Structure 1
Amino acid sequence: MKVLIPTDTIHPDNINMKKFLGKLHDSMKDEGSSNPSFPGNAPQHQQPMQDQPSRIKPPTPQDVIRYRYQQGTNLGSVFVLEQWLTPSMYPQRCQSAELAAATKSVETMGLEAARAKFENHWNNYCSDADLDWLANEAHCNSIRLPIGYFTLGPPYCQNTPFASVSLIYANAWAAVKRLVARCYSRGIGVLLDLHALPGGANGQEHSGTNSGKADVWKHKSNLELATRCLCFIAKDAKSMDGVVGIQLCNEAEYNAPDMYKWYDRVIAEIGSIDNTMPLYISDAWNLSQAIGYCNGRNSLQAGTANPIVIDTHLYWAFSDDDKRKSPQQITQEVSGKLGELDGKDGSVTDHGAAQMVVGEYSCVLTEDSWGKRGVHPKEKLVNDFGQAQSQRYQQRAGGSFFWTYRMDWMDGGEWGFKQQTKIRAITPPNSLCLSPSDVQSRLSHAQSQQEGQLQSTMGAHCNYWDSTYPGQYEHWRFEQGWRVGFNDALAFFGMRANGGLQGHGGDKIGMLDIWVKKRIVESGQAGKNLWEFEQGLRQGVRDFYQLAGI
Structure 2
Amino acid sequence: MARPMDLAPPTPRDIIIYRYQHGVNVGSVFVLERWLGAMYEEDTDGSSELEAVKRSLQTRGLERTKAKWEAHWLAGLTEGDLLWLRDVARCNSIRLPIGYFTLGPSFCLGTSFEGDMANVYINAWNIAKRLIDKCYDHGIGVLIDFHAVPGGANAASHSGTESGRAELWGSMHYRALARDCLAFIVQEVTHHELSGVIGIEICNESIRDAPGIDEFYDEVIEITAAINPSLPVYISDGWDLSRALDYALLKNRVPVPIGGNPVIVDTHRHYTSPESKSISPESIIEQIHGELSELETRQGHVFDRKSAVDVYVGEYSCAMDMQTWNRMDASQRLRLTKTFGQEQSRRWTAKASGSAFWTFKTDSTDSSDWGFKDQVNTGAIPAPAWLTIPREQVSSAIDQAEIQRTHLGKKALTDHSGYWASTSPEIVLGLHRFTQGWDIGYSDAKHFFGAMAHGFLPGGGDGGDKIGAVDLWTRKRMVEANEFDQQSGWEWEHGFRKGISDFYAAVGLT
Match for 2:179: what amino acid? Answer: T
Match for 2:156: what amino acid? Answer: Q
- What whole-Å deviation, never above 9, does each CA across 1:91-129 have from its counterpart, x for those lacking one? 533321001111111111111111111111111232111
Match of 1:493 among 440, 449, 465: 449
Cross-structure match for 1:191: 143
Cross-structure match for 1:390: 345
SS in 1 for 2:200: strand
Task: Say if 2:299 is the partner of 1:345.
Answer: yes
**How many residue pairs end up in the alignment?**
499
Cross-structure match for 1:523: 481
Cα distance, 1:272 vs. partner? 0.5
Match for 2:462: what amino acid? Answer: H
State the alpha-carbon separation in 2 of the partners of residues 322 and 471 from structure 1. 50
Task: Say if 2:244 is the partner of 1:286.
Answer: no
Match of 2:187 among 222, 235, 241: 235
Match of 1:358 among 295, 313, 316: 313
CA contact under 8 A between 1:180 and 1:242: conserved in structure 2?
yes
- What whole-Å deviation, never above 9, does each CA across 1:345-372 have from its counterpart, x for those lacking one? 0121122112011100011011111111
State the alpha-carbon separation in 1 of the partners of residues 299 and 106 from structure 2. 41
Cross-structure match for 1:143: 94
Q: Runs of 4+ in structure 1 displaced over 6 angstroms?
A: none
1:215-226 equivalence runs, <5 A? 215-226=167-178
State the alpha-carbon separation in 2 of the partners of residues 485 and 436 from structure 1. 22
State the alpha-carbon separation in 2 of the partners of residues 180 and 161 from structure 1. 27
Cross-structure match for 1:83: 34
- What whole-Å deviation, never above 9, does each CA across 1:308-327 have from its counterpart, x for those lacking one? 0000000111x221111100
Cα distance, 1:61 vs. partner? 1.5
Match of 2:462 among 490, 504, 524: 504
Task: Say if 2:504 is the partner of 1:545.
Answer: yes
Pick the structure with more helix per residue: 2
1:272-283 equivalence runs, <5 A? 272-283=226-237
1:416-495 equivalence runs, <5 A? 416-469=371-424, 470-495=426-451
SS in 2 for 1:250: coil
State the alpha-carbon separation in 1 of the partners of residues 275 and 365 from structure 2. 30
- What whole-Å deviation, never above 9, does each CA across 1:437-474 have from its counterpart, x for those lacking one? 11111111111101110000011112222343222221
Query: RMSD in angstroms over aligned alpha carbons?
Result: 1.4
Match for 2:431: what amino acid? Answer: H
CA contact under 8 A between 2:44 and 2:52: conserved in structure 1?
no
Match for 1:85: what amino acid? Answer: L
State the alpha-carbon separation in 2 of the partners of residues 174 and 482 from structure 1. 44
State the alpha-carbon separation in 1 of the partners of residues 487 and 331 from structure 2. 57
> Share of identical aligned residues, percent?
43
State the alpha-carbon separation in 2 of the partners of residues 283 and 392 from structure 1. 18
Match of 1:373 among 313, 323, 328: 328
CA contact under 8 A between 2:26 and 2:76: conserved in structure 1?
no
Cα distance, 1:339 vs. partner? 0.2
SS in 1 for 2:210: coil
Cross-structure match for 2:360: 405
Cross-structure match for 1:266: 220
Match for 2:502: what amino acid? Answer: D
Cα distance, 1:87 vs. partner? 2.5
CA contact under 8 A between 1:91 and 1:101: conserved in structure 2?
no
CA contact under 8 A between 2:149 and 2:159: conserved in structure 1?
yes
